[in-house]
Amino acid sequence: MIIYKEIEININDNVYIKTKGLTSYIGKEIRIIKGINDQDDYLSVIKFIVDYIIENRPVISDKENIAYYSWLLQFRLDENFYDIYEINSDGSEFNKGCDTAILIIRNQSEICAHFGLPTQFPNFNQMVVISKGVYEGKDIEAIRYESPENMSGWWLITDDYDDNIESLTTVHYHHVAFARPDILGYLALPFGYRFLMKNEKISVSKD
């Protein structure tokens, strides 16, 4: 067991990592099922959720969503616990656990670190500007501009773009995340950077 912000986190259970002390905040405890990742990865997720609950004191209900950096988790009520579920990689359903979220966040962080850049995660509900051809899997030139809070800053352009700005579409980040897992790892690059995907190879540069 460890103590985090006066909340007990039980790490000794073979199946779950779970809290004790959140009942006074949300009426239940939080529980995350262990999967393929290291224990520290699940601890990071549960600490993120503890921070969210203590700082915001939210009213949580069954099947309520919570953004975990650039992925989406969900609270599912099971007696005295909210189990943590996550959206799967194609957005079709929620599955118990958070292994996909952990892998995506780790991959995005490692790519930024590889280029010596800070990680700037997009929010799951932010918007992305795209041209025709993005959803179809075509090569992409991507640029991230500093933008208002509701925008991720990403503009994704393919060779199908006809230089008519009115042909561009603004969509939610999660639609791109589900449709283009091949570029997902690069979408946490910070403002002022771009990447070019050409023939399945990706290069990164400062704009």
pLDDT band at 23 (very low <50, low <70, confident <90, very high): very high
- Per-residue pLDDT band at 162 (split at 50, 70, 90): confident
| Distance from C-alpha of 175 to C-alpha of 155, rounded to nearest angstrom | 14
* Integer angstrom CA distances of residue 146 from 71, 149, 181, 189, 192: 21, 9, 23, 12, 7
Using the predicted structure, report yes or no on whether residue 135 has a pLDDT greater than 90. Answer: yes
What is the chain's mean pLDDT, rounded? 95
Residue 62 confidence (pLDDT): 96
Confidence (pLDDT) at 50? 97
Which backbone phi and psi does 168 adopt, to 5 degrees?
-75, 150
79-110 as b/e, with b when 16 or more CB fall inside 10 Å? eebbbbbbbeeeeeebebbbbbbbbbbeebbe
Structure-token pair, residue 141:
């030139």
| pLDDT of amino acid 200 | 86
Q: For the chain, how many residues are written?
A: 207
Residue 179 has pLDDT above 90, yes or no: yes
Task: Tell me: pLDDT of 13 over 90.
Answer: no
Q: pTM to 2 decimals?
A: 0.92
Q: What is the pLDDT of residue 84?
A: 98
**163 pLDDT band (50/70/90 cuts)?**
confident
Quick: pLDDT tens for 26-77: 999 999 999 999 999 999 999 999 999 999 999 999 999 999 999 999 999 9
At 80-113, the pLDDT tens digits run 999 999 999 999 999 999 999 999 999 999 999 9
Instruction: Label residue 122 by pLDDT band (50, 70, 90).
Output: very high
